[in-house]
Amino acid sequence: MNLKPLLKRQKLRVDPHGHSESLWDDSRYEIHLHKTTKYTIDGKICEVNIYVPLNRANKVRCEEGTGKGRCERRIPIPKQLEKEIQKAFTNDVIRTQFVEELRRELRNYPSADGEEKQIRAALQRIGHAFGINTLEESAIIEFYQSKDKSYNMIVKDDNEFYKLTSNKEGIELQDWEYHQRGIIIN
């Protein structure tokens, strides 16, 4: 399974909002993929946030945002982004396999302040669920803890670089080379 195209020039976060796997089946809580990208709206480049529910039958929603936690307005999902998401999740077998792998991983996921060894292994398995070669140690360029206590893993796969981060807000995956050029904001 390869969901790497969802990361091209973008950032994706597995967003459990502090909910454990035990709440996966509780319809009051939404566990979702949160995709952040830039898109041209009304002639200006804006940050767009797309939410893909994983544990509920809610529709995918899209919001124009101006930064973390702020929503200016709900907007229709841009056609190109909608096609990208549909292409990644249209195949029932792939979607089910991905969601089950992710659910299994969240069930066993250590807290953000867990042991470094456990977090590293979890990031490797989550990256693998997205189709990133994180299981081979030679693919891991760097693994470190930043000042904000988040754990970060830089991976090279097929001459592309990805950054995986574990922090108290969730798990982030992003196109690292694109992010390094300062194009993504967050």
What mean pLDDT is predicted for residues 86-103?
73
pLDDT in tens, 16-69: 655 455 566 676 777 788 888 887 877 888 888 888 877 777 777 888 875 554
Under a CB-based contact definition with an 8 Å cutoff, are residues 98 and 3 in contact?
A: yes
Residue 185: the pLDDT is 31
Phi, psi of 176, rounded to the nearest 5 degrees: -70, -40
Whether residue 11 is contained in a domain is answered as yes
Residue 2: the pLDDT is 67
What mean pLDDT is predicted for residues 160-186?
71
Whether residue 185 is contained in a domain is answered as no
Contacts with 175 (C-beta within 8 Å, 6 or more apart), sequence order: 7, 8, 9, 10, 11, 160, 161, 162, 184
Residue 155 pLDDT class (50, 70, 90 cuts): very high
Mean pLDDT comparison of 60-64, 123-127, 182-186, highest-scoring range: 123-127
The structural domain count of the chain equals 1
Whether residue 186 is contained in a domain is answered as no
* Domain ranges, residue 13: 4-180
| Single-letter code of the amino acid located at 119 | I
Residue 177 pLDDT class (50, 70, 90 cuts): confident
| Single-letter code of the amino acid located at 79 | K
Lowest mean pLDDT among 96-100, 147-151, 179-183: 179-183
Picking from 5, 33, 27, the residue whose alpha carbon sits closest to that of residue 132 is: 5
Whether residue 88 is contained in a domain is answered as yes
Residue 183 pLDDT class (50, 70, 90 cuts): very low
